[in-house]
Amino acid sequence: MGSYLSPISLPPSVLPELVSAGYDQVCIISSFSLYCWGNNDAGQLGIESTNVIGDGVNEMGVNLMPTDLGVGAEVTFVDSGDDSTCAILDWQNMKCWGNGYYGQLGYGDSSIRGSGAGEMGDYLPVVDFGSGQVPVEVHTSHYRTCVLSTFQDFKCFGAGYWGMLGTGDYYWRGNSANEMGDNLPFTYFGSGQYASSFSMGEIHTCVIIQSTAKVKCFGSNLYGEFGVGSKLDQGGKATTSGKYMKASMLGSNLGAMQVSAGQYFTCVLLDSYMIKCFGLNDKGQLGYGDIENRGDDANEMGDYLPYVSLGSGKTVTSVHLGKEHVCATLNDNSFKCFGNNEFGQLGSGDPKSRGNTTSQMGDYLMAVNLDGDMVQECFDFNPTSSPTNTYSPSLTTTFEPTQPTIAPTMRPTFDLPYVPINGSAIGTTQVEVAYGVTGFNYYYYLCDLNDLCFK
């Protein structure tokens, strides 16, 4: 790591403005164009072949071509899952490609797209998920895809195992005719309760409810990843869906600012600027200095569940989960990771997992060495409009946010309107992209290395 870690070779003038890391492939947006590399066994790179990109000479740098999504298409958001990818175009439409076996591409069949000639570009149709539905956030996985629209409507399609679509049944949707568009049901969370952002694990999904800043999860709850004090699945029956869907027990007077789902566990960034994690903990991925699961039994959640300790005076600005590990950006612009490290995913320079003993967390947990580069994030603590809900979180923190010191004099090359999404990139241009927090009107900004931030 550090200076020994080489930057990824990208085409000239291509700077990553949003990064999505899938199971074993990566996609970035740069100036509304999409570039992907990595595994491509199901056509998830969208290059009309199954060739792997990035493991051989003359594949990166000037040789890396943008994904063709149609004439004039501008990519504004992307999410790459296990073996499929979905992109939002022009803040209006959405296209998906890769493995479609479960219907997770949303085209009314089980076909693979993106691996053969004539499958991408203008040949790839727009996903129809309902009249008037305009996508602002999409996440896809091996089994299903979920979409949040501008009206905070929420829909999922693909496999319905464990109630993963949140529709009160176990039906698959999207793999047969007449299942998409207006025939695709909404996922409800109760009267007046709408999702403002969400995250998908392997077989569970968690959303933040805008009006209450609560977290609700559905799908499989085998290890307590819902944080409800039991292993009860939600979303597959009428009695565990809609208004009956239980919220995660996060603690007294605490609201969620961000939720991130891993394979079988979940972490929540709270309005105290600290995180709590629950679910499977066999690799120390919960960060509590042991390997005890949390969230699957009584007296483990709420005020019984402590904050994850990341060091003296450290507060968290964002949290991101992989399969079995966690990385968090901190108020001093540093970056710490814990959990499984079998493949060096913690960036610690060794294969040793961290988080399963008390001597590995807190001040003992070292920040990832990025050779002097820091993760930059800015917050707007002066919202332009008052939230309409009655939830009033405490804004007391132990740090002062970094404010931009120079007013921008030009339009940034990647104009980001506010949408509630969770995108992040760490690189030459470092950014946490347009994350709107549950009606509290905080925003992330696009920031460069000189603390120059753009909304």
Q: Using CA atoms, how far apart are residues 322 and 318, in angstroms rounded to an integer? A: 14
Mean pLDDT, residues 110-116 taken together:
97
Task: Provide the token pair at 435.
Answer: 């994350």
State the pLDDT confidence band at 170, using cuts at 50, 70 and 90.
Answer: very high
Res 4 pLDDT > 60 = yes
**pTM check: above 0.75:** yes
Q: Distance between CA 385 and CA 199 in Å, rounded?
A: 26
For residue 396, the model assigns a pLDDT of 33
Share of the chain above pLDDT 90, in %: 77
For tokens 């990595």, the residue is 38
pLDDT band at 383 (very low <50, low <70, confident <90, very high): very low
Domains of the chain: residue spans and CATH: 1-180 (2.130.10.30)
- Is the pLDDT confidence value at 392 over 60? no
Residue in 48, 130, 50 with CA at minimum distance from that of residue 94: 130
188-204 average pLDDT score? 96
Q: What average pLDDT does the chain have?
A: 84
Start-to-end C-alpha separation, the chain: 31
DSSP per-residue string spanning 186-233: PPP-STT--EEEEEE-SSEEEEEETTT--EEEEE--TTSTT-SSS---
Express each pLDDT in 44-63 by its tens digit: 999 999 999 999 999 999 99
- Report the range of poorest mean pLDDT among 10-14, 246-250, 380-384: 380-384
pLDDT tier at 443 (50, 70, 90 boundaries)? very low
Place of tokens 């919960």: 286
Decide if pLDDT at 393 tops 70: no
Structure tokens at 3: 């200076």
Q: Which of 141-145, 288-292, 413-417 has the lowest mean pLDDT?
A: 413-417
d(CA 162, CA 170): 7
Residue 182 CB contacts under 8 Å (≥ 6 apart), including other chains: 130, 131
Mean pLDDT for 172-197 is 96
Element (H, E) at 374: none
**φ and ψ at residue 242, rounded to 5 degrees:** 55, -130
Q: What is the DSSP letter of 63?
A: G
Would you place residue 372 in the very low, low, confident or very high pLDDT band (cuts 50, 70, 90)? low
Dump pLDDT digits (tens) for 399-419. 333 333 322 322 223 333 333
Q: Long-range contacts for 14-17 (Cβ within 8 Å, ≥24 apart)?
A: 14/64, 15/413, 15/427, 15/428, 15/429, 16/425, 16/427, 16/428, 16/429, 17/413, 17/414, 17/416, 17/425, 17/429, 17/431, 17/433, 17/446
Comparing CA positions, the residue from 24, 7, 38, 126 lying closest to residue 82 is: 24
Can you tell me the mean pLDDT for 2-22? 90
pLDDT for 80 = 96
Calpha distance 331→425 (Å, rounded)? 17
| Residue 5 confidence (pLDDT) | 82
DSSP annotation of 156 reads E
What are the CA-CA distances from residue 93 to residues 44, 135, 225 (Å)? 19, 7, 32
Where on the phi/psi map is residue 266: left (φ > 0), alpha (ψ -120 to 50), or beta? beta
The residue-averaged pLDDT of 410-429 equals 33
